[in-house]
A and B are shown apart, each in its own frame.
Chain A
């Protein structure tokens, strides 16, 4: 299993760089993953990331972009400005949860 070092901590990741164990996540790790993706986290980013983690904790899976747009309070347009390379996918990666599965 591959591993990566974020914020000085070695964590197990999958082939796409998603944390294998969401419990190993910390806010420092989130900032480090974001930086590696070219994103400096702002308050709005954190709002989405925390929403992703809460959804994952409750439902066992992260929301898709459509669900994020409807329920996180951040519009689809803004989500793509915050995470240009795919809001649900990138926010999940930074939030340390598995990539959301869903076609829409």
Chain B
């Protein structure tokens, strides 16, 4: 069999749709392969597990050359919503779950969800602001303890 990965700790640090999905897909995929997986949300990545915000995650249309939009056009009012709608429709056709549904599913797979203490302090968030599936708000030291012996992925 050769080398196998037994455990992954995935950090999600961005609050845009394209910043959040890759980490979620990697965590879900790790569990599907039988690996242990933990997700750690820091800085704007916390929006993915924020009760009031996780249903309103948007694609970044400014400063995103991958969209092949003129920079000025990306900044027009409503552009981010339009692009998000467009992508969400495409994802639905491919049966890719929405972010809230995906996170609930990942929690059901047994992966751990954690918020970053420094970021929660900075944004004045408490565990009550975060969705129920979040196990705890932890420090960077606790994160490293939890990640010991596995792979760490920063997104």
Q: Which residues of A contact B (CB under 8 A)?
A: 64-67, 69, 75-77, 80, 84-90, 103-104
Contacts and interface: CB of A to CB of B under 8 A. Distances in A.
Contact of A103 (B25, B31, B34): B25
A86 B33 contact: yes
A104 B25 contact: yes
B95 A89 contact: no
Given A69-B105, A76-B108, A76-B109, A64 B34 contact: no
B87 interface: no
Nearest to B33: A86
B34 A65 contact: no
Contacts, number: 42
B152 to A, nearest CB: 21
A90 B97 contact: no
A89 B29 CA distance: 11
Contact of A88 (B32, B97, B105, B108): B32
A66 B105 contact: yes
Given A69-B105, A76-B109, A77-B110, 4 more contacts: A64-B32, A75-B108, A89-B32, A104-B28
